[in-house]
Each structure stands twice: as structure tokens, then as C-alpha cells.
Amino acid sequence: MLDIILISIESVKVVIQLSLGGLLLIPWLKAKRKFYSDLPFLLGVVLLGVGLGELFDVLMDANILAETVEIYRVRLSVLLVGLEAIIFAISIIWFRKRLDLRNVFRIGYPAIYLAGIFWFSTIESILQFVSIMIISAIIPLILTFAIAWKLKRLPSVHGLLVAVGTTIIAIGQVIEPIFRVYNALALAEFIDILGWVIVFASVRIKPGYTKK
């Protein structure tokens, strides 16, 4: 039996993610000079990548797509677009002048990620592997933007809001299995939406130190 409420909330979340991602990308697309290292652009790519990936969840929950290993591999490959943008952002902040180290992270992470999702043969094992890969990207992201905010760096984004929003998203992902047991996945989706809205706000609300 379809869970109409859950599917509706998931659909709203996808629309929000894609819309916010588009709002971040539009100014970049209109700019005369485009830099792929612009953090608002990278956050927009993250939102679009995650939103398109979660669209697969909506289609599977609605029984439009079958929950097969092949579909999950495609869904998680789409998610990699967003994760790669996270890795790119982190590498730029920490290794701005070291192209070689940036390339190690930008090439090594997706290579390991893709090798894993095509190596493991069951949905459960693939999802467990991807969870580890997501955590390995999210924790450095939280620390990087929190430190950047503390040191009054990155005037183009509010580092603290990125850290807070990403932390909320991470908490939602961790407690999702618990909500699943109590048939309360809709609550986990609301938590996820809150986190992504805060991440989006980090571009619209400039850090206080830029106003001094």
C-alpha cells in the first residue's frame, strides 16, 4: 500500500531542493565571468544533485520504478554529482594553492565511490557503503565551514549556517532508521527539509563580519 503522505512530503522536499539549487545557479549562469570555484555555485550543484537523486526515491516509493540494484546504482551515481561538489568545495578551501592535492580528492573520492556501488551486489550493502562515503564528506564539510566562519573567512557564504544546516541533515539521516521503525519517516523528511533550507539561507544571509 502506498504511503501517500510520505510520498507527498518527499515530493515537496525534492521540489524545494531543485528550486533552491536553481536559485543559486541562476546568478552564476547570468554572470559574465563564471568560476566553478564559486561556493554559491557549488552549493547549487549540491542541491540539484541531491534533489535529482532523491527524485528516484519518490518514484520508487510510488511504485513507478522498481527497487532493484540497478536502479539504486543509477540513483546513487546521480547523488555523486552533489557529493563531488562538496569535495570540490572542501578541497578549494583547504588546498587553494595546491592543485595536485585538490585533484587527489576530486578524482580519488568519486573513483572509490563508483567502485564501491558497482562492487557490492546487494542494495543493503551498497547503501551501507554509501552511508560511509556520505559521512566522510559531511563531517569535513561541517568542520570546514565552522572553522571558516570562526576565522572570518568566506564572505560569500555564512559558514556557520552551512555547518548548522548540514549537521541537521546529518542528524536526520542518522535517526531515519529509528523513525522507520515507528512509521514516522515523514518527520525525518521535515528535518531534512529544514537542514537544506538553512544551507540555502547561508548564501542569502551574509556573515556579520562582512558588514563591519
- Confidence (pTM): 0.83
Distances (CA, A) of 95 to 100, 105, 122, 126, 144: 9, 10, 36, 30, 12
Cell triple for 165: 544546516
28, part of any domain: yes
What whole-number distance in Å separates Cα of residue 28 and Cα of residue 122?
40
Residue 39, classified by CB atoms within 10 Å of its CB into exposed (0-12), middle (13-18) or buried (19+), is buried
86, part of any domain: yes
The closest of 196, 208, 204, 163 to 51, measured between CA atoms, is: 196
212, part of any domain: no
What's 147's DSSP letter? H
90, part of any domain: yes
24, part of any domain: yes
What does the pLDDT read at residue 211? 62
Domains in the chain: how many in total? 1
- The answer to whether 87 and 137 are in contact (CB under 8 A) is yes
57, part of any domain: yes
The closest of 151, 98, 100, 108 to 133, measured between CA atoms, is: 108
Cell triple for 62: 510510488
List the domain range (segments joined by +) for residue 40. 4-207
198, part of any domain: yes
What does the pLDDT read at residue 2? 56
What does the pLDDT read at residue 24? 85
* C-alpha angle 142-147-153 in degrees, rounded to nearest 5: 115
206: three-class secondary structure by DSSP: coil
105, part of any domain: yes
**Residue 129: which H helix or E strand, with range?**
helix 123-150
The CATH number covering residue 163 comes to 1.20.1070
pLDDT values of the chain reduced to their tens digit, one per residue, 212 residues: 557 877 888 898 899 889 988 888 888 888 888 877 787 888 889 989 999 999 998 898 888 988 899 999 999 999 999 999 888 888 887 877 777 777 888 889 999 999 999 999 998 899 889 888 888 888 888 988 888 888 887 777 888 898 999 999 888 877 877 776 777 777 888 888 898 899 888 888 877 777 65
